[in-house]
Structure 1
Amino acid sequence: MKKILVPTDFSAEAHRAFDIATELAHLSGAEVKLLNVIEVNGTPNFSATGDTMAGGIDQVYMVKLLEVTHGQMQRMLATNRFPDVKITHEVDVDDIFHNIRKTVTDENIDLIVMGTKGADGLNEVLIGSNTEKVVRQAHCPVLTVKSNTEVFNVRNIVFPSNFREESPYVVDVLRYFQNLFNAQVHMVYINTPTTFGTSRESKNRMQDFANRFGLQNYTLNIHNDSVEEDGILHFAEEVNADLIIMATHGRTGFSHLLSGSIAEDMVNHSTLPILTCHIK
């Protein structure tokens, strides 16, 4: 892992994400990029330096907004606890999702770390959370954290799956974080009424999976619950998990509305850090 992106809105959740990103960078030797994107009407008429073209919103307002934002960025940079970590930063005026996707591609980002408040009820159905959209669209792993996430000391990783369709890429990410923290991986299949499988069949499939990818320091687990999301959360609580790593299909549009995504639901509802990876 060489480069970590931290999109920030300077909230408590974003500050915690920056904290954790710098911890990861300190452990891995990566550098961190802090990114703030200002989204306002008429953004094509402004640059991040406050220069204006014809039209758009009032120049004085934009210059003041950029001045405040740069000040917030400097205060966030001052909270870095690891002098050895290289940190760059950028303030831009753009569409946030377009900017994040472009940054990931142009700068070969290996990991995005984002804070999230989550979403529920009608808000979740209509728009979801901003972080959920990044989880769905990003082409690199995304680590999501809440503001109440304590010291990121990972000893127990929960890896929920059906153990049929994971790609080597997802397992590589799992193995990387396991090795980084010398953690134990708890592989778990969530048995629900709609995905029922016998214990013998499920454990054999998990063992075959572990053998195929050469996993080490792991446990095999089957957890019965009514729905997969609840099963993952309940199992994570039982093993005192510090991190959940799981795959997402990254579906968008109508197919996403029909099938949803357990990974995105977990990002919205879990109090634990969630690391999501697209199945490639």
Structure 2
Amino acid sequence: MKRILVPTDFSEEAHHAYEVAVSIARKAGAGIKLLHVVEGVTSYSPSFSATGDVITPNNMQHVYVLQLMEAMKAQMNQFIESVDHEGVGIVQEVDADRPISKIRRTIKEDDVDLVVMGSKGSSGFEEFLIGSNTEKVVRTADCPVLTVKHRHPNFDVQEIVLASDFKREVRHAMERFKDFQALFGARLHLVYINTPGAFESSGNLYTKLDDTAKKYGLQNYSVNVYNDVIEEDGILHFATDIRADLIMMATHGRTGLAHLLSGSIAEDLVNHTTIPVLTFPLK
């Protein structure tokens, strides 16, 4: 892990994410990029007419945009210094764009290994209508995304829940999950949530989990079958029972109608749990 991206809106939750990112960067020897995206304004860039004359936008709008960007850069400088980041390289960027589009481009262009984001969470009608920017990043990012809600000044992960159906596609995420476990020297708890709608015998499930652990050469782990009504509740209850520091999940990253119809357990967890969640896209 070399590059960590921390999108920030300067909120309390974003500050929590920045603290966690610094802790991870110190352990991994990684650098951090802090990104603030100003939405709803257009960056000033002069164009030229066919005769070579400079065409500028409205002067007042130009002045407003420049002043706004300078104010955001000053706020970014204060934000950087709000966390002790000694020994961690920090770069910053302030841009005017659509936040999700800018974050996705930055992930690709900067070859980002991990995104760390704060999340307020959402529920009810608000969640149905818009969700959150963090949820959208979880759904569409091409790299792992760690979501944080509360303050963790010394982010120390000892107990990790890895929740999955442990089908073949999980192999795409397993090496990343192992790397994160190794980074902290944590214990990994594989868990399958057995629900009434998709019930399997415990014996078969334990065999599947044992086979998965052996196949991927897992170390320092436990295998668990947990019964609950729905998967999301089962994951949350199991994580609470073992006092987990982190939940890890793979997500299919569905968008549009497929997402509306099927939803996403990973995105629901990001919205509803207070435990940090690391998601990895299966694409």
Same fold (TM over 0.5): yes
Match of 1:167, SS state, is helix
Match of 1:140, SS state, is coil
Per-residue deviation, 1:149: 4.4
Equivalence for 1:243: 246
CA gap of 1:46–1:9, structure 2 versus 1, over 3 A, is farther
Asked if structure 1 preserves the Cα contact closer than 8 Å seen for 2:189 and 2:222, the reply is yes
Aligned mate of 1:115, from 98, 113, 118? 118
Q: How does 1:1-280 map to 2 (within 5 A)?
A: 1-41=1-41, 43=42, 45=44, 53-55=56-58, 58-149=61-152, 151-280=154-283
Asked if structure 2 preserves the Cα contact closer than 8 Å seen for 1:149 and 1:271, the reply is no
CA gap of 1:57–1:217, structure 2 versus 1, over 3 A, is farther
Aligned residue-pair number: 275
Match of 1:20, SS state, is helix
Q: Normalising by structure 2, report the TM-score.
A: 0.93
Give the distance between the partners of 2:278 and 2:252, measured in 1 at CA: 14
Asked if structure 2 preserves the Cα contact closer than 8 Å seen for 1:45 and 1:55, the reply is no
Deviations 1:61-87 (A, max 9, x none): 323322221111011111232311111
CA gap of 1:58–1:147, structure 2 versus 1, over 3 A, is farther
Asked if structure 1 preserves the Cα contact closer than 8 Å seen for 2:117 and 2:145, the reply is yes
Percent identity of paired positions between Structure 1 and Structure 2: 50
Asked if structure 2 preserves the Cα contact closer than 8 Å seen for 1:171 and 1:213, the reply is yes
Give the distance between the partners of 1:196 and 1:30, measured in 2 at CA: 43
CA gap of 1:206–1:62, structure 2 versus 1, over 3 A, is same
Per-residue deviation, 1:60: 3.2
CA gap of 1:167–1:55, structure 2 versus 1, over 3 A, is farther
Give the distance between the partners of 1:143 and 1:192, measured in 2 at CA: 27
Give the distance between the partners of 1:204 and 1:232, measured in 2 at CA: 20
Asked if structure 1 preserves the Cα contact closer than 8 Å seen for 2:164 and 2:191, the reply is yes
Amino acid at match of 2:19: D
Asked if structure 2 preserves the Cα contact closer than 8 Å seen for 1:149 and 1:272, the reply is no
Asked if structure 2 preserves the Cα contact closer than 8 Å seen for 1:31 and 1:86, the reply is yes
Q: Which runs of 5+ in 1 are unaligned?
A: none
CA gap of 1:192–1:224, structure 2 versus 1, over 3 A, is same
Match of 1:58, SS state, is helix
TM superposition outliers: structure 1 runs of 4+ over 6 Å: none
CA gap of 1:31–1:194, structure 2 versus 1, over 3 A, is same
Per-residue deviation, 1:46: 5.7
Amino acid at match of 1:40: G
Per-residue deviation, 1:150: 5.6
Amino acid at match of 1:66: M
Deviations 1:126-172 (A, max 9, x none): 11011000000100000000034463110000001111134333111
CA gap of 1:74–1:53, structure 2 versus 1, over 3 A, is same
Asked if structure 2 preserves the Cα contact closer than 8 Å seen for 1:157 and 1:178, the reply is yes
Give the distance between the partners of 2:56 and 2:251, measured in 1 at CA: 41
Bigger-Rg structure (1/2): 2
Per-residue deviation, 1:55: 4.4
Give the distance between the partners of 1:195 and 1:186, measured in 2 at CA: 21
Q: Which runs of 5+ in 2 are unaligned?
A: 47-54
Asked if structure 1 preserves the Cα contact closer than 8 Å seen for 2:20 and 2:153, the reply is no
Amino acid at match of 1:268: N
**Cα RMSD for the two superposed structures:** 1.7
Give the distance between the partners of 1:12 and 1:169, measured in 2 at CA: 33
